[in-house]
Copies of this chain bind each other. A is one copy, B any other.
Amino acid sequence: MKKIGIADTTFARYDMGKSAIEELQNRGTGFKIIRYTVPGIKDLPVACAKLFAEHECDIVIALGMPGSKMIDKTCAHEASLGLIQVQLMFRKHVIEVFVHEDEAKDEKELAWLMDRRAREHALNAYNLIFKPEELVKNAGKGLRQGFKDGGPIK
């Protein structure tokens, strides 16, 4: 039985963890979900480490919403570096799902984007552990999560 970790934050303004969990449950069975919530995105790297080491997760989806200020961009950068590091420590994927507060034009779009990106990346996580060949099939296809795909260059 595979284990999928969900690491999310109390800082985010939308429950992205819930979206990811719902999407995973719609996808199939054969896995168990373990959720771990931390205050902010900089707490996510160690949360992932705990999900891998203490809860034996096979993959983690790390969800967060960096704010729109300069300092928030720096925090997101630091968190991302930590997420890469934790992946190398455990040699397992962490699918980072960050939605920057200023990516959307208003709150309604922001909520939509957070939900959608969480769901599309949940599918990526699912495929990475269950159907990696699906990703190979889409190599170079310009896929995006949230807004519409870039698409392959004609």
A residues neighboring B (CB under 8 Å): 8-18, 35-39, 42-43, 45-46, 49-50, 53-54, 67, 71, 73-75, 77-89, 91-96, 100, 107-108, 110-111, 121, 124, 128, 132, 135-136, 138-145, 150-154
Contact = CB atoms under 8 A, between A and B. Distances in A.
- Which of A10, A37, A136 has the most chain B CB atoms inside 10 A of its CB? A10
A124 B46 contact: no
A40 to B, nearest CB: 9
Contact of A11 (B67, B86, B136, B143): B143
A9 B124 CA distance: 12
Contacts of A78: 77, 80-81, 84
Contacts of A87: 45-46, 49, 82
B81 A10 contact: no
Contacts of A10: 135, 138-143
In the complex this chain forms, how many copies of it are found? 5
Nearest to A137: B37
Instruction: Give the 5 A-B CB pairs with smallest separation, nearest first.
Output: A15-B140, A46-B87, A13-B142, A82-B84, A37-B135
- Which of A71, A83, A153 has the most chain B CB atoms inside 10 A of its CB? A153
A77 B95 CA distance: 17
Nearest to A35: B136
Nearest to A121: B39
